[in-house]
């Protein structure tokens, strides 16, 4: 899931609103004031959002499953730790048709047939998990930039959902995104699959302002968006919502950047913290489980904060994501055991 952003990007000037005006690929060398969410109106909105993805718990752990072997533990879906509520299968691939995607099992993961893979999807779903298809990655070359490619995207993703039984889609496009047509594509997909689970894994620079294309897409599908699990890594230092620059891998980086999304229009239930499962899983920005848990407590409870403390709490925060379940397994499932348990214990 590494991106390719430089520390220099943090020099972007903040707008008067306090926000900058202006994703997730194959990893390791190759998303105490009273909170607005506590108000009756916000509670109603949160309930409506949650109803669009009933399979996803209030606080969820997302993990990317690698459909390839890059040195991490090779897994089948049935091997993914039970702590993961949303499993994002990585990745769908572009076809020769603009916007359209396809999916092929890599022989390296050991499935003898597509039917065996589909059976594992059903087993995870029977255990209360959501299995979605991730589109993009660092090397993904999928472009949805007009009405025709938007239709192709929606049709192909919908077809793969029907064929494999996927619960939804993860948008992990790291080479640009057109908000107008991606929003159009995802709305068309939602019309076809009303309960679709939709997640996103933008890079930090993509969520610095509601005016950015990724952020606009998230806001454009807010009525059914499940979660934005921004990649808080491979980023270098970035601006927080208070206008200060924070270094990746720290609690302040996680909380001050999450604040931009939380105060920029997304419901707390649509915001998750995305981190590498180990130092080997990304080029930079690894945060130990204790740091991730402290950031979760800071945002949801107002406790355990670093130098940055949000002006309000967000008890409805969706949870956390990691790249990847495979790298987590190679690290003794530390993320699943420590962060997973903590997420499920949030208020």
Question: Which residues are known to be catalytic?
Answer: 174
Joined together, the tokens standing for residue 212 give 């950015």
Residue 29, classified by CB atoms within 10 Å of its CB into exposed (0-12), middle (13-18) or buried (19+), is exposed
Helix (H, G, I), strand (E, B) or coil at 250: coil
Question: Residue 182 is encoded by which pair of tokens?
Answer: 């991606």
State the Cα–Cα distance between residues 237 and 223, nearest whole angstrom. 32
Q: How far is C-alpha 60 from the geometric centre of its chain's CA atoms?
A: 11
Collapsing DSSP states into helix, strand and coil, what is residue 69?
coil
In angstroms, the Cα distances linking 235 to 72, 81, 130, 175, 231 are 22, 27, 28, 15, 8
Contact 287, 247 (CB under 8 A): no
Q: What whole-number distance in Å separates Cα of residue 256 and Cα of residue 238? A: 9
Q: Can you tell me which residue has the tokens 């994501």?
A: 321
What is the rounded distance in angstroms from the CA atom of residue 319 to the CA atom of residue 279?
20
Residue 237 exposed, middle or buried by CB count within 10 Å (0-12, 13-18, 19+): buried
Token duo for residue 228: 């934005």
Q: Which residues contact 243 (CB under 8 A, 6 or more apart)?
A: 14, 18
């Amino acid at each position: 899931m590494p991106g390719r952003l430089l520390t220099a990007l943090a020099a972007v000037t903040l707008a008067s609103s306090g926000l900058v005006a202006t994703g997730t690929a194959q990893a390791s060398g190759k998303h105490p004031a009273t909170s607005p969410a506590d108000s009756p109106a916000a509670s109603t909105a949160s309930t409506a959002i949650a109803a669009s993805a009933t399979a996803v718990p209030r606080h969820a752990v997302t993990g990317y499953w690698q459909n390839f072997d890059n040195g991490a533990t090779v897994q089948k879906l049935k091997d993914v730790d039970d702590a993961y509520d949303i499993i994002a299968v990585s990745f769908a691939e572009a076809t020769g048709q603009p916007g359209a995607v396809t999916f092929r099992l890599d022989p390296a993961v050991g499935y003898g047939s597509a039917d065996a893979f589909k059976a594992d999807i059903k087993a995870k779903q029977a255990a209360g998990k959501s299995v979605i298809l991730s589109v993009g990655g660092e090397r993904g070359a999928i472009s949805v930039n007009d009405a025709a490619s938007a239709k192709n995207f929606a049709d192909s993703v919908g077809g793969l959902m029907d064929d494999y039984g996927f619960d939804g889609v993860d948008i992990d496009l790291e080479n640009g995104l057109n908000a107008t047509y991606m929003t159009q594509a995802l709305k068309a997909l939602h019309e076809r699959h009303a309960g679709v689970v939709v997640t996103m894994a933008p890079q930090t620079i993509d969520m610095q302002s509601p005016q950015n294309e990724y952020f606009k897409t998230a806001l454009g599908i807010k009525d059914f968006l499940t979660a934005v699990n921004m990649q808080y890594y491979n980023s270098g230092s970035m601006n927080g919502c208070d206008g200060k620059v924070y270094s990746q891998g720290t609690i302040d980086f996680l909380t001050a950047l999450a604040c931009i999304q939380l105060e920029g229009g997304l419901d707390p239930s649509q915001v998750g913290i995305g981190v590498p499962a180990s130092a080997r899983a990304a080029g930079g920005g690894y945060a130990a489980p204790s740091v991730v848990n402290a950031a979760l407590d800071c945002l949801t409870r107002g406790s355990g904060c670093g130098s940055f403390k949000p002006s309000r709490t967000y008890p409805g925060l969706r949870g956390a994501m990691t790249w990847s379940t495979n790298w987590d397994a190679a690290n003794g499932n530390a993320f699943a055991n420590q962060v997973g348990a903590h997420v499920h214990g949030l208020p």
